[in-house]
Amino acid sequence: AQKITQTQPGMFVQEKEAVTLDCTYDTSDPSYGLFWYKQPSSGEMIFLIYQGSYDQQNATEGRYSLNFQKARKSANLVISASQLGDSAMYFCATHSGGGADGLTFGKGTHLIIQP
């Protein structure tokens, strides 16, 4: 079974600073994927970024990047130049094997960007 640990229940960050949200995972499967989702106060789940376990390079999507350290089983999300609109809950998730059995989520980090 997979497990995701997010150790930061909440974070306050000044606008324009970079943010790192921590995520560690536990899986025995050699093939897995790692995801980050954003959930603003409106409630919808927004897909941000994906990293496959065999990907050689860290994934990037605009201001989002995933700091993937396989040996440490770590998949931290980095948000550069934070904006007020980045305030939200952030969830790290994983699937393993073929991934057909859905996602396992962490408990989330509540990020608040302060002006």
Partner 1 sequence: EAQVTQNPRYLITVTGKKLTVTCSQNMNHEYMSWYRQDPGLGLRQIYYSMNVEVTDKGDVPEGYKVSRKEKRNFPLILESPSPNQTSLYFCASSLSPEAPYGYTFGSGTRLTVV
Give residue 16's region: left, alpha or beta (phi > 0; psi -120 to 50): left
Token pair listed for 89: 């809950």
Is 105 an interacting residue with respect to partner 1 (CB under 8 A)?
Answer: yes
Residue type, 29: D
Does the protein bind partner 1 through residue 103 (CB under 8 A)? yes
Which regions of 42-108 does DSSP assign to beta strands (E)?
A: 46-52, 60-61, 64-69, 74-79, 88-96, 104-105
Q: Choose which of 19, 23, 27, 33 interacts with partner 1 (CB under 8 A).
A: 33
Task: Name the residue nearer to partner 1 (CB basis): 43 or 115.
Answer: 43
Q: Which of 113, 109, 101, 114 is nearest to 38 (CA)?
A: 109
The least distance separating partner 1 from the CB of residue 25, rounded to whole angstroms, comes to 13
Does the protein bind partner 1 through residue 62 (CB under 8 A)? no
Residue 37 interacting with partner 1 (CB under 8 A): yes
Q: Can you name the residues that pair with 52 across neighbouring β-strands? A: 33
Is 95 one of the binding residues for partner 1 (CB under 8 A)? yes
- In the complex, which residues of this chain contact partner 1 (CB under 8 A)? 4, 6, 33, 35, 37, 43-45, 47, 50, 52, 59, 91, 93, 95, 98-108
